[in-house]
Chain A
Amino acid sequence: MASSARSSGVAAALLRRRPNVCASCRTTQFLRPYSVAAEAQATAEAHHLKPTQSKPHEPFTVSRQAEYRIRSGVILSRAPLLTRPLTPFENAFFFYQKRLNERLTTEFRHSMFFKKDTAADLDWRIKLEERGGLVAKELGRYYAKGRNAWNDELLVGSTLSDENRIRETLLKDAELRVTEDGEKAKPDEIVPVEKPQPRITESDKKNDVQKLDRKLDQTLYLVVKKPDGEWQFPADDMSTEENLHQAAQRILDAAAGPNMNTWIVGRVPVAHHVVQPQFKQDTSLDVKGEKTFFLKGRIMAGQADLKEGTLGYRKFKWLTKDELQELLPAPYFKSVRKMMADR
């Protein structure tokens, strides 16, 4: 109690010594700077001050408008096409729930679904016999009404709850086991069911970052390479005659060609990135700053084509959020990361 009171008193005394420090500086720069000059420089950096200014004053709105260029940009994304793969824990959980359900539901009455002495009835009987009289197809050798019904949990390392195994089992069960004559099919007469396409595509294997059929369970974002070698989202200066969303559509068409069916989701920017202006020693403007506002877009069909683009971009990539983090400059990624979904 006494020590904490003493320490808070020390902090208060420290703050009392520097009454002209604003609230944000008080919290961020609590460590004492090495010199007055360093402190002044840190303050100037935090408030983006001009070279001759020493302390921040009123917020600049109109007076500093001329120091920035307003730009519009598009973050064009491809929505995920597949749901994510389940974790082993989720698989095991759902498998356990299914076994539990076996114990609680009413029994399956096959006479309700299959008319007696039909091909479908025979087919069902053949498969039921192969499963050892078990109605459930993918739950392993588990008799829910039997003596060992309590033993419904899987052991560690069991592959019974694996998603792929369950799908394989179900597709195997979907094969027709009865011939057209209504007799039991011989093994060479059974036609296997066509398997669904795998989650991993050719582009995934080649890691072809320009293809849109890569990383099907994640969102892909379009980034383009400027002539100076830096990667960014397509963006350009705006004229005063157009709105943000109109400019975004124009920029997208100009950057990546008209060979895309796109949809600009809203008229409100989802992210913005600010590059501070640079000043000479006499406070005159050296390089203008940039304020880029990004709108969100979706690609429905087509592909980016930079050959017809007029903004001078050379290359493009469709990347996930993780890949963008590696590629983009850190401050740039920091200003846009919040609009990206995790997946």
Chain B
Amino acid sequence: MASRLPTALPRRPTTSSTLSPFNTLAPQTTSSSIIPTLQQTQTRNATLIRRPKRPYAFTQVVQLSDGSTFTLRTCSPHALYKSTKDTRNHVMWNPSEKSLKNVEVDEAGKLAAFRGRYGRGWDAESVDPEGGAAEAAETKGSSKGGDAAKKDDKVGAASFESKFDSSYDPLGDLISSYAVGMPEDKGAKMAGSTKSKKK
């Protein structure tokens, strides 16, 4: 396309050569170079502009998730498009709709079991009411050892957990939950000693 444009020819050869200040510095050379081109006939052919390619457009009925419909022009050859997720059933546009809220379904208790074993380090967000429950379960696991001397350790552990809840350290949470789950007293005592040091 660009090669067809008559760029080799100056638009106004006479005026540009005489009036431009750059050409006055070396008038002889420029005029000698332009004169033979002027002898050619100037052409003003229209450049070919192709019609833009437009894809074929169908009319389509779009049905939103609440059943409302509208028609639009689209490339898709399907006559009906049913949307499953749109502004009509998304929480962002329906903040007061309770059924759209993200509620964890855990009827089989698998998620709770996972948390009991590996802690809450993999949760997307810390949930306050369940956080207390998980903490209680962990303290129960630690009391399995049946040591009276551990009582102060328990208090220390609880404060430690609450610290973690605020600062959110997934790896530390994992390690501490493993330590709690172990049946040996030694590991628990060691953990307790470190905690008391931190205290």
A residues whose Cβ falls under 8 Å from a Cβ of B: 81-83, 98, 101, 104-110, 113-114, 124, 135-138, 166-167, 170-171, 173-174, 193, 196-197, 261, 300-301
A113 — which chain B residues lie within 8 A by C-beta? Answer: 76-77
A261:B96 contact, CB within 8 angstroms: yes
**B53 in contact (CB, < 8 A):** yes
A124 to B79, CA, bound (A): 11
A301 to B54, CA, bound (A): 44
| A310 smallest CB distance to B (angstroms) | 25
Given contacts A124-B77, A196-B67, whether A300 and B61 have CB atoms under 8 Å apart is no
| A122 smallest CB distance to B (angstroms) | 14
B80:A174 contact, CB within 8 angstroms: yes
B53 — which chain A residues lie within 8 A by C-beta? Answer: 106
A104 — which chain B residues lie within 8 A by C-beta? Answer: 54
B56 — which chain A residues lie within 8 A by C-beta? Answer: 105-109, 135
In the complex, besides A105-B56, A107-B56, A300-B96, 6 extra interface pairs with C-beta distance below 8 angstroms are A82-B68, A98-B73, A108-B56, A136-B58, A137-B79, A166-B59
Number of interface residues of B (CB under 8 A): 22
Given contacts A137-B59, A170-B61, A301-B96, whether A83 and B70 have CB atoms under 8 Å apart is yes
A124 to B76, CA, bound (A): 12
**B89 in contact (CB, < 8 A):** no
Contact with A along B51-65 (1 / 0, CB 8 A): 001111111110100
A197:B67 contact, CB within 8 angstroms: yes
A137:B70 contact, CB within 8 angstroms: no
| A206 smallest CB distance to B (angstroms) | 21
**A-contacting residues, B27-61, CB 8 Å:** 53-61
| B27 smallest CB distance to A (angstroms) | 54
* One of B59, B68, B71, B77 near A110 (C-beta < 8 A): B77
Given contacts A167-B61, A170-B60, A170-B80, whether A196 and B69 have CB atoms under 8 Å apart is yes
**B199 in contact (CB, < 8 A):** no
12 CB-based A-B contacts, threshold 8 Å: A107-B56, A110-B77, A136-B58, A137-B79, A167-B69, A170-B80, A171-B61, A173-B80, A174-B78, A193-B80, A196-B63, A196-B67
